Chains A and B, each alone.
Chain A
Amino acid sequence: MLLYNVELASPLMLGTAQYPSPAIVAAAVQASGAEVVTVSLRREASGNLAGQAFWSIIRDLGTRVLPNTAGCRTVKEAVTTAHMAREVFGTPWIKLEVIGEEDTLQPDVFGLVEAARVLTEEGFQVFPYTTEDLVVAERLLAAGCRVLMPWGAPIGSGRGLNNVFGLKMLRAHFPDVPLVVDAGIGLPSHAAAAMELGVDAVLLNTAVAKAGDPVGMAKAFALAVEAGLLAQRAIPMEPREMARPSTPVFGRALLA
């Protein structure tokens, strides 16, 4: 998989939030095989400088970081956050989130396209958190995005792929654009299903962080995305409405 000219072997990207401890974040990332982890920027308290300790742990992992603009609701907020993230993390990559609705955390696709255009012109390599809408996808590509990150389901919901048809349409319309299903994945089977329908990668966080055993779940996801990718490459059979015997009928003994 090639994302902005960076070759990645693993189709799994992992978020770093909500884990029981920093040590478990590190162990989960290692177990997942992820080569990209998402991070954010938040207010630093001068008393304990918690962000510095976190950043030290992430740097030691040796993975690439994909900073996000989580929580931003306007183009201005998202663009300013991206500038700050580029300076702190030293990467032009930005996971662009412009949130439009509180209950579903659905992207404000109008603001998203505008912010993507501004940031691309400023040299950012934008990973837009979007819906499966084809027209929005067209606009994001026209704005300069070279990766699309459609949601599977609302962030943190663990519902899996809410619109399989929509994701298939996106894949069919943009066969050469890297697609990363971002958000809503709850189980390894969801991630495998996404890979089977031909997306290039999945990005998830809560499903691993909030599992009873995050490290075990990270390993399960690693195997699931690999299985899904192998299955997709192996060209799955076409489903049928009716049964068809798999054992040959020819040569069956007459014993009745």
Chain B
Amino acid sequence: MRIIVNGEEREIEERLLSRALCELDFGDAVVATAVNERFVPASQRSAIALNDGDRIEVLAPMQGG
């Protein structure tokens, strides 16, 4: 399945968002996720099935002003 992760096209096997994050090497990282511009809380990641072409945002703490 081809999805867009942080603006880049990626090929993944896993369908569930929680498993896809592991496959994409985010592991236990502190991140927040959105699928197709909608926030997906961590508690709901295992209930979200991804579809071909979905756009995933994986955000982490960064420097800010």
Contact = CB atoms under 8 A, between A and B. Distances in A.
Interface in A13-44: 15-19, 25, 38-44
Given A44-B26, A88-B30, A83 B39 contact: yes
Dominant secondary structure of chain A at its interface with chain B: mixed
A41 B61 contact: yes
A6 interface: no
Contacts of A17: 63-65
How big is chain A's contact interface, by range? 35 or more
Contacts of A51: 29-31, 59-62
A98 to B, nearest CB: 15
Given A41-B32, A80-B37, A80-B39, A88 B61 contact: yes
B34 A54 contact: no
B65 A155 contact: yes
23 contacts: A15-B63, A15-B64, A16-B63, A18-B63, A38-B64, A39-B63, A40-B62, A41-B61, A42-B59, A43-B58, A43-B60, A44-B60, A46-B5, A46-B24, A50-B62, A51-B60, A51-B61, A51-B62, A76-B37, A84-B33, A84-B59, A87-B42, A156-B65
